[in-house]
Chain A
């Protein structure tokens, strides 16, 4: 059995898809392209395809990853990529395929770089970013159906920068993924917006780059940016 690591971008209308709908759109793209995906065992076999790092609804992703198991005797990755590009819906663009054996460890996200635009007083946003840099810890509570948990944003959100742009501030930051989870982009944006007293409304959230553990080098935009354990 072979695994394909497909990198793709998501933007335009596809930015508004949920994680599950993005996975379905990728799977349907394979079906339309005539590129088979291996099926799971059991009463209701499911295509073996996963997107290891969900992208928030509304966000564009420059370099997303899908891990796909293909059955024996798959088409050549180059030919498959051509067909996938032709079959992809608006906003979804397959970029590259790296082939790995079934013994290869599944890639794990280490860090993702985000950028967005916050409207309102740019000076106040810059001050909030400077304050974040000087704080030792910024503990926030997360309430979810699973319960409450606290997390220290300083452990997860790094490389924060603010730059004035027309009508607001371009905020860029990186989120680190650890074994115990990660912060969500919105949690950090809410914090900065609250400190800067601007509306916590972000525009144009983008995930510009993801650093993966165990993404092998290949003809992918991720090549050279992956690290191996």
Chain B
């Protein structure tokens, strides 16, 4: 799926660095859509790379970016289409070393037997060492050299968990300036400038917020120069200032002003808005950019928002809604989760109340016909977060709460839910331990592919795989006094003590401040060369 794969900014970083700064030649391959895969099998055409149309099976190292759990069956599909044995143990000399990276390696167990190695964290500063390791004369020696690269975890070989790597030179390094520019329309069809890495807002459900700590910001000059160059050289008419929370980037206003002054008429997009500063940020949008606004209160009541450390109050929410409709934006989308730890039916009813507030405010402002939609996903507890030990809410509870919301939602508000069955599979894999790979393999053998796409997700396939492997979907038996499965593979550097403390604060409804404001919560990340790096 090129349109999606090419939009991944992480892959662009790897591709640019490997090709421009190392002796390696990096090429790309994407998972073909099932109709294409069927034709490739029928005509015996192995998966090829886009650059040289060579079989992928012939490369030295095959790296997979693993964005989330519902892409796991695609890994097996691609290996199989390439004619590469899916189990690392069956691969030998002349076959690629398969390396996993990306956010989903936070718990690599569900994929462990299919990969020779996983790289934990940010890889930019380790690419030279990885390429160098590949120069060794045999596969065994290459694997040995790779095992010595910090951040590398080799299932069945590494004796200790790998330490998650932080790219400390991020602020001093320019963003990708020579990206691959697709000629067909990608899902994110714009130039991308990564302005900041990490987020310390401390939302307790958010894996990325824990995994990419600490915050590092690029100087505004680097950002503006990159935006100018990328717009000129790609021909895009829109630039995205990318990060986990771009409104928190200290240089955001200056960067927006300078980019707009340099290239009048250019569209500048921010991937997410913070509700507490949305009113101000929305005022800065040009008249022709006033499309739909997305706000993410995440939970329907103050108590639950405090428990997840999403420090947003009703007054801030109402101000953001007024700024949206008063500012001439054409629509508002609200994003919530259900199934959060400690959630009650009353919290869910609060979601409908907030939607009703938005409807009322729209009418008061004279925008009663504006589009309002609510997207509700099901919360899946993730590794390395304060909620890593919490149970998954379960299908019955989630379906019940979806129905509550359907009944309580004001008329004219469009509501979208995530498929509960897909969340059940995601929850199983997100905290899977050794042996959970059998579920992935069995599901793939039964035809599971592209599970993140509703038209391809078949729950019966996963139910069948679960029954065949004896793995209970949605269950995670974890004990706080034992090493958690993912802790044996990766040291995320955020300490278990901090996560436990945050879990306890959640149950008491206590907020933890953003550490960029000076109040370090001692999460364990900073120290020994790793520091927060924000603009003065």
Contact surface of A with B, Cβ cutoff 8 Å: 13-14, 17-18, 20-21, 24-25, 27-32, 34, 39, 43-45, 87, 89
Contacts and interface: CB of A to CB of B under 8 A. Distances in A.
B234 A28 contact: yes
Given A31-B237, A32-B235, A34-B232, A24 B185 contact: yes
Given A28-B235, A32-B233, A43 B184 contact: no
A168 to B, nearest CB: 18
A21 B183 contact: yes
Contacts of B265: 39, 45
B288 interface: yes
A21 B185 contact: yes
20 contacts: A17-B183, A18-B184, A20-B185, A21-B184, A21-B185, A24-B183, A24-B184, A24-B185, A27-B235, A28-B181, A28-B183, A30-B235, A32-B233, A32-B235, A34-B232, A39-B265, A43-B288, A43-B290, A87-B235, A89-B181
A31 B237 CA distance: 8
Among A20, A29, A44, A87, the one with the most B-chain Cβ atoms within 10 Å of its Cβ is A44
Interface of B: 181, 183-185, 232-237, 265, 287-288, 290
A94 to B, nearest CB: 14
Given A43-B288, A44-B288, A29 B185 contact: no
Contact of A28 (B236, B288, B290): B236
Contacts of A31: 235-237
B288 to A, nearest CB: 6
Contact of A43 (B183, B185, B235, B287): B287
B3 to A, nearest CB: 10
A22 to B, nearest CB: 9
Contact of B183 (A30, A34, A87, A89): A89
A45 B183 contact: no
A28 B265 CA distance: 16
Given A17-B184, A32-B234, A89-B181, 6 more contacts: A21-B184, A24-B184, A29-B235, A32-B232, A32-B235, A45-B265
Among B232, B237, B265, B288, the one with the most A-chain Cβ atoms within 10 Å of its Cβ is B237
Contacts of B290: 43
Nearest to A45: B288
Nearest to B290: A43
A32 to B, nearest CB: 4
A210 to B, nearest CB: 22
Nearest to B231: A31
Closest 7 CB pairs of A and B: A28-B235, A31-B235, A32-B235, A21-B184, A25-B183, A89-B183, A43-B288
Contacts of A27: 235
A115 to B, nearest CB: 25
A69 to B, nearest CB: 16
A24 B237 CA distance: 11
A14 B233 CA distance: 19
Among B235, B265, B287, the one with the most A-chain Cβ atoms within 10 Å of its Cβ is B235
Contacts of B184: 17-18, 21, 24
Nearest to A46: B237
Nearest to A90: B183
A18 B3 CA distance: 13
Contacts of A17: 183-184
Among A30, A31, A34, A87, the one with the most B-chain Cβ atoms within 10 Å of its Cβ is A31
B236 to A, nearest CB: 7
B228 to A, nearest CB: 13
Contacts of B288: 43-45
Contacts of A45: 265, 288
A32 B288 CA distance: 22
B2 to A, nearest CB: 11
B286 to A, nearest CB: 11
B185 to A, nearest CB: 6
A37 to B, nearest CB: 10
Contacts of A29: 235
B265 to A, nearest CB: 8
A13 B265 CA distance: 32
Contacts of A20: 185
A34 B228 CA distance: 13
Nearest to A47: B237
A222 to B, nearest CB: 24
Contacts of B183: 13-14, 17, 21, 24-25, 28, 89
Contacts of B235: 27-32, 87
Nearest to A91: B183
Contacts of A32: 232-235
Contacts of A14: 183
A47 B234 CA distance: 16
Contacts of B234: 28, 32
Nearest to B184: A21
B239 to A, nearest CB: 13
A214 B393 CA distance: 68
Nearest to A13: B183
Contacts of B181: 28, 89
B290 to A, nearest CB: 8
Nearest to B50: A13
B35 to A, nearest CB: 15
Among A14, A30, A43, the one with the most B-chain Cβ atoms within 10 Å of its Cβ is A43
Contacts of A89: 181, 183
Contacts of A34: 232
B235 to A, nearest CB: 3
B50 to A, nearest CB: 9
A60 B181 CA distance: 21
Contacts of B236: 28, 31
A34 B184 CA distance: 20
Contacts of A39: 265
A135 to B, nearest CB: 34
A43 B232 CA distance: 23
